[in-house]
Amino acid sequence: MNKFVWLAAFLCTRLLSSAQNQTLVFQTDFGVKDGAVAAMKGVARSVSSELDMFDITHEISAFNIAEAAYRLNQAAPYWPAGTVFVSVVDPGVGSDRKAIVLKTKTGHYFISPDNGTLTLVAESMGIEAVRVIDPKLRKPGSDASYTFHGRDVFAYAAAHLASRKTPFEKVGPLLSTEMIKLPDLKASAANGVILGSIPVLDIQYGNVWTNIDASLLREHEIKPGTTVNVKITHDKDVVFEGKIPFVNTFADVKEGETLGYLNSLLQFSVAINQGNFAKSYQVSSGEGWRIQITKEQQR
């Protein structure tokens, strides 16, 4: 009978282990035209064949840390606790920038160069602890390679963490300082004018996404069903100015009409129904782009 007990224990262990969330999600600015992303996944697969691997995007603009931060925060909260994300947008590869692992209060893990990429997920999901990856936790034999830490360090360490071969507590010492963060660009309000920025476009459709939360609008009694004045500026130039309906969804206006709505992150956005607002008005995103919203006055 003892043999069966042993067997049962073995089987249960294996089944439970495979039932755990061994999920690894990649994001980079490498593109998918060459073999770089596949080399990362090969390294991870060599660490453990139990990992399930997915992608956010590999089309982050080269070296664009702010975009990396935004895309990570757009996708990560929808994944289950225990998921390990690895983001490699790494203009400082080979410098003394640190390689870190963030564990959030929600139980998600994020591996990245310490360069600001984790700013938004840290804000939205809360910091439980941050560790610096031990320099020894890298692909064996990769010491002569200085320029592809995505493959040699980040993918390797991420696979160790996701497969539980190296638990979070063992990846390296706690970070003794604060994580590097991007400058705070929160939306603000004064005298009834709500002022925000345009961190990214919803590029596929040409919709303009802002950092103005639904809650900030609600505080100023700007609700779906009303009309708002919108002004979009680039540095000192006014690029768009007009009254637009603030509605729940695209279908609330006719094809070709401009609308304001809450996007899938519940932030104020501007679009043309089945058109391309960004293209029509030459609106882009990032540094220098600002948006003002005021409530249309009832007469």
Q: Residue 119: which residues within 8 A CB-CB, separation 6 or more?
A: 69, 179, 181, 182
How far is residue 191's CA from residue 185's CA, in Å, rounded to a whole number?
19
Contact assessment for residue 260 and residue 208, using Cβ atoms and an 8 Å cutoff: no
List binders of a copy of itself among 183-222 (CB under 8 A).
Answer: 200, 202-205, 214
> Within 100-225, where are the H helices?
119-125, 149, 156-162, 214-219
3-class SS of residue 145: coil
163 in contact with a copy of itself (CB under 8 A):
no
Which helix (H) or strand (E) element contains residue 42? helix 36-47
Considering the complex, what minimum distance in angstroms separates the CB of residue 205 from a copy of itself? 6
List binders of a copy of itself among 25-64 (CB under 8 A).
Answer: 25, 29-36, 38-43, 45-46, 49, 52-59, 62-63
Considering the complex, what minimum distance in angstroms separates the CB of residue 112 from a copy of itself? 15
Exposure of 274 in the CB half-sphere (CA atoms within 13 A): 6
17 in contact with a copy of itself (CB under 8 A):
no
How far is residue 164's CA from residue 162's CA, in Å, rounded to a whole number?
5
- State the number of binding residues for a copy of itself (CB under 8 A): 78
Q: Which two tokens stand for residue 249?
A: 């969804």
Region binding a copy of itself by CB under 8 A among candidate stretches 15-23, 109-117, 233-241, 282-290: 15-23
Region binding a copy of itself by CB under 8 A among candidate stretches 120-128, 185-193, 230-238, 244-252: 244-252
Region binding a copy of itself by CB under 8 A among candidate stretches 147-155, 172-180, 188-196, 290-298: 147-155
Considering the complex, what minimum distance in angstroms separates the CB of residue 245 from a copy of itself? 13
Using the rule CB under 8 A, which residue among 188, 264, 280, 288 binds a copy of itself?
Answer: 264
Percentages of the chain per state (helix, strand, coil), in multiples of 5: 25, 30, 45
* C-alpha triplet 124, 129, 135: angle, nearest 5°: 120
One-letter amino acid for residue 90 of the chain? D
Q: Which is nearer to a copy of itself, 172 or 199 (CB)?
A: 199
Using the rule CB under 8 A, which residue among 105, 135, 169, 274 binds a copy of itself?
Answer: 274
Q: Mask 61-100, x = binds a copy of itself (CB under 8 A)? A: -xx-------xxxxxxxxxx--x-------xxxxx-----
23 in contact with a copy of itself (CB under 8 A):
yes
